Chain A
């Protein structure tokens, strides 16, 4: 769900895409990010967009757009099909958060995820004052928001650790779209992460997959 305003995260994302990369943009909206990656980086891009009007815009923008639910769309792609899988300002709208993150790193070598930081100081202040926050990066009222999940930089980093996802790079932006250097979880309104598979932990996952009972050490008579 790419909103039309303030796409400061696009600059960050574009800086992480190398020329000629294969990119999948989940919830590509009107295709503005992909258009930019294709024009500036020569990316070979595909977008997934479910909504009719946005899908048509992306088509008009010359995007290879695939109209389907993003979770279904991911399931059909083979391992390592893309260099980068992008999920821009959409993770907070996804129901099966863990599955989508895992799937993104199955079909992509790396993933790029941006999301609004619920712990941004203005959001904290709004809650302190007894109201749910509405801001540049959380532009909806509580009753009409498509957002299902409210989380912070620390929350995201914690789920990454839990899933064996390695954080390769992080850029945090304020509401004006300027980079935030310090106290990111307090001063940052929008976070952009470049993530990959943690080699050691993903090997451990595979090990558990093939040996669901472990090696049975604890079953040995002592």
Chain B
């Protein structure tokens, strides 16, 4: 996801203030859905607000494809590094740090401090690389449940996420029905479409065919598949925006020297995408990117119920808030309504909001008044 840029997104106006990540270590093995077993793992975590005595006011924020534990505030060592969903977290904001204890983490397989392909495999003393197992949304939820245990949190007041993060919120209600009171499933889908998977595969192919990929063991060669990761991000980024928004932001505007009948940057949109690709490839791990897209592709809770989503969701006991955005063509409103319809069929509690917002899939990161009011009101219903 691209970084949200809101009016209050400066260190000066930042609400949560300076924050630091910590690493939580888990020594008991974790059985993964693939059959692989992680003997031990770390999760990088940030928290905001205070856990109450009853430990009933905790909200878990699940990240999407490229997110991490740094949800809000700015890093103590870098005031410009503001959390990826800062506009929704803080005193008086929908995820109100005066009321709730907010937990952000970097998922298993990530590259921001949690165990993943770029972290050291204790068995070999070298980076895991290609040997780090493929993880699923259920695996992430299992690891998050271990994290809840370390805080003594029996049940989350809410689990919230956008896109792939929303899928984790949904999975929580199925894997641990008793451990989540409210699920906020935002800009998500109950499974990927063929088109969604197709985009993911092109992104993966860009990485896998980069000569610097070395079968995933590029760390040993002291290189990174920058070109592949950059292309993957450029492609992904297009799917996060809307056509209207791109037209407004770039149109057909060109840079100085355009019209030279060459292949350097000419249109502003090219410049923007290349910049996004470069920025991302410089900080993200290609092996993590492969695993995140695979987790998306595999997500399909209805599969074991003959594709009957209502049957799959029947075991959930949480209250649901499903949110979609009108210009999101990656996971359009119709995909959210599939979940709403399944929940209604079962007579389960659900609130659905379709937000008019111009920012495509990335709308879920924006500071839209109605969207934030809906989140705030729903959380009131879930309680602390």
Contacts and interface: CB of A to CB of B under 8 A. Distances in A.
A90 to B, nearest CB: 19
A59 B319 CA distance: 12
Interface string B349-379: 1111110000000000000001001100110
Interface residues of B, number: 20
A52 B351 contact: no
A55 B377 CA distance: 11
Contacts of B345: 77-78, 81
Give the top 6 A-B pairs by smallest Cβ distance, nearest first.
A76-B341, A66-B352, A67-B353, A59-B377, A52-B370, A67-B354
Nearest to A76: B341
B344 interface: yes
B90 to A, nearest CB: 21
A68 B380 CA distance: 22
Contact of B370 (A56, A72, A76): A56
Contacts of B341: 76-78
Contacts of B262: none
Nearest to A62: B381
A60 B341 CA distance: 22
Interface string A74-98: 0011100100000000000000000
B347 A44 contact: yes
A66 B351 contact: yes
A163 B147 CA distance: 58
A65 interface: yes
B377 A56 contact: yes
Interface in B314-371: 333, 337, 340-341, 344-345, 347, 349-354, 370
A67 B321 CA distance: 11
Tell me which of B344, B352, B354, B370 has the highest count of chain A C-beta atoms within 10 A of its own C-beta: B344
Given A44-B347, A56-B370, A78-B345, A66 B377 contact: no
Given A64-B350, A67-B353, A68-B352, A56 B344 contact: no
Contacts of A62: 381
Question: Of A55, A60, A67, which is in contact with the most chain B CB atoms at under 10 Å from its CB?
Answer: A67
A102 interface: no
23 contacts: A22-B347, A44-B347, A55-B353, A55-B374, A56-B373, A56-B374, A59-B377, A59-B381, A60-B380, A62-B381, A64-B349, A66-B350, A66-B351, A66-B352, A67-B353, A67-B354, A68-B352, A68-B354, A72-B337, A76-B337, A76-B344, A77-B341, A77-B344
B327 to A, nearest CB: 16
B352 A59 contact: no
